[in-house]
Amino acid sequence: QQQVKQSPQSLIVQKGGISIINCAYENTAFDYFPWYQQFPGKGPALLIAIRPDVSEKKEGRFTISFNKSAKQFSLHIMDSQPGDSATYFCAASGSPGAGSYQLTFGKGTKLSVIP
Amino acid sequence: DSGVTQTPKHLITATGQRVTLRCSPRSGDLSVYWYQQSLDQGLQFLIQYYNGEERAKGNILERFSAQQFPDLHSELNLSSLELGDSALYFCASSVGAGGIIETQYFGPGTRLLVL
């Protein structure tokens, strides 16, 4: 079964620090890698996404680093703020040839940013 | 607010019963996806409908079924419920069939508790 492995399960970071969440995948047919952010009581919301033709994508304080040969990608949150406290999910999706961009999710990382 | 609505927000029922979860996609979106989120399995893709037709199937049990109606709203039917079916059920929508990279917008979810 297609899998995306995410670590760590939980993360505590001080305000202003860097939060790093890692994911690894197995299926080389994956070619779209989004990160979703979920606050308690809410549905996941797209945060940032990358395709394998670039090694890094930055949007504000959020950066995805992508290593195609290692089949790994990571989310870096710079200058972490208490408002960033949420659960973060990495995901991966296949090519159009598969007929559907269904998402395969990692199990999530609960981030707590303490003042 | 993603624009995706789900009802009910909470549902408590007994084992062996049948329930129906409802989802209305964002205006203009033709695809609806259903996901199950549980503590041990994380977020798992169940099924996708595009413009009324089943497009892709994931880890959906035979006791579960879904459909998408002409007005594009979707219903997920869960029958012969077991304790293990207790979970958060999310609906997501996207503009097209998912054959190209599209953002999936998630609803707030329905929390199902089977006693």
Q: Return the pLDDT at B71.
A: 96
Q: Return the pLDDT at A95.
A: 60
The tens-digit pLDDT sequence of chain A (115 residues) is 558 999 999 999 999 999 999 999 998 888 889 999 999 989 999 999 998 889 999 999 999 999 999 999 999 999 999 999 999 999 998 765 555 567 899 999 999 999 9
Instruction: Tell me which residue in A45, A93, A96 faces B2 most closely, judged by beta carbons.
Output: A45
CA distances B61 to A56, A104, B23, B67, B94, Å, are: 38, 17, 19, 15, 23
Q: Return the pLDDT at B8.
A: 97
Strands A4-7 and A19-25: antiparallel
Say which DSSP state A32 is in.
B
Q: Return the pLDDT at A30.
A: 87
- Dihedral of the alpha carbons of B75, A39, A34, B30, in degrees to the nearest 10: 30
The tens-digit pLDDT sequence of chain B (115 residues) is 889 999 999 999 999 999 999 999 999 999 999 999 998 788 999 999 999 999 889 889 999 999 999 999 999 999 999 999 999 999 999 987 766 677 899 999 999 999 9
Contact A96 B104 (CB under 8 A): no
> Which positions in chain A touch B94 (Cβ < 8 Å)?
101
Q: Return the pLDDT at A76.
A: 98
Q: Does B39 touch chain A (CB under 8 A)?
A: no
Q: Return the pLDDT at B96.
A: 78
> Which positions in chain A touch B93 (Cβ < 8 Å)?
none
Q: Return the pLDDT at A103.
A: 87
